[in-house]
Structures are given as structure tokens and as C-alpha cells.
Amino acid sequence: MDIIFTQPFVVVERRMERTGQRTIEEEHAIELYEDRIRAGQEDFALKDVFDVSYRFTSALYGFLYLHTNRGVVSYIIKKDPSLFVEEYKKLVH
């Protein structure tokens, strides 16, 4: 099945080194398909995702929330996910 839309997210890791704290960001993708959402290594069937929302907490970072039957799963985002949310809503409505 083809990917309908991709939304990047980041995993932030902070490491203590001799010279101080170092922050490492690793970029991944949330992929929207007709029947599922794949985020990193996790798959969510579209029927198990009740809603998708987001909120920016600063000018640089925000959170994308998947409201699922397993609870709310959050992802750190740097780019506006409004098109991703719009495409998701087209599929479920």
C-alpha cells in the first residue's frame, strides 16, 4: 500500500559527557496509509486511532498526539502537522 502522507518527528536524547551535556536529535517519520499509521517501529490500525491532534509548546518544538485504543501516544515535532491531520481526517470521515 502506498504512503498517503509523511510527517517527520524527532527523538531527543541527552547525554552527559566530560565536557557537559550533549543533545542528539534523530529524525524519524510518521507515515499515513489507507489502513494504518506507522510511527517508527509502531503500527496503529486506522480503526484503533480515534483522533490526531497537535500543540506547539515553543517556536521550535511541539507534540503530535495519536489518541488510540492503547492510550495517547505523543511525538516531538518541529514542522507543522496540519496537512497530516487533514489527510487523516479525510480517511476517517
* Amino acid 18: pLDDT: 87
Q: What are the structural domains of the chain?
A: 5-92 (2.30.29.30)
Using alpha carbons only, give the angle 90, 87, 85 rounded to the nearest 5 degrees.
Answer: 110
pLDDT value, residue 26: 94
> Residue 4: what pLDDT?
96
Q: What is the pLDDT along the chain (93 residues), one digit of tens a residue?
A: 799 999 999 998 988 888 889 889 999 999 999 999 999 889 999 999 999 999 999 988 999 999 999 999 999 999 999 999 999 999 988
Nearest Cα to Cα of residue 9 among 70, 80, 58: 80
CA angle at 42 for the pair 80 and 34, rounded to the nearest 5°: 65
**pTM to 2 decimals?**
0.88
The per-residue pLDDT for 36 is 97
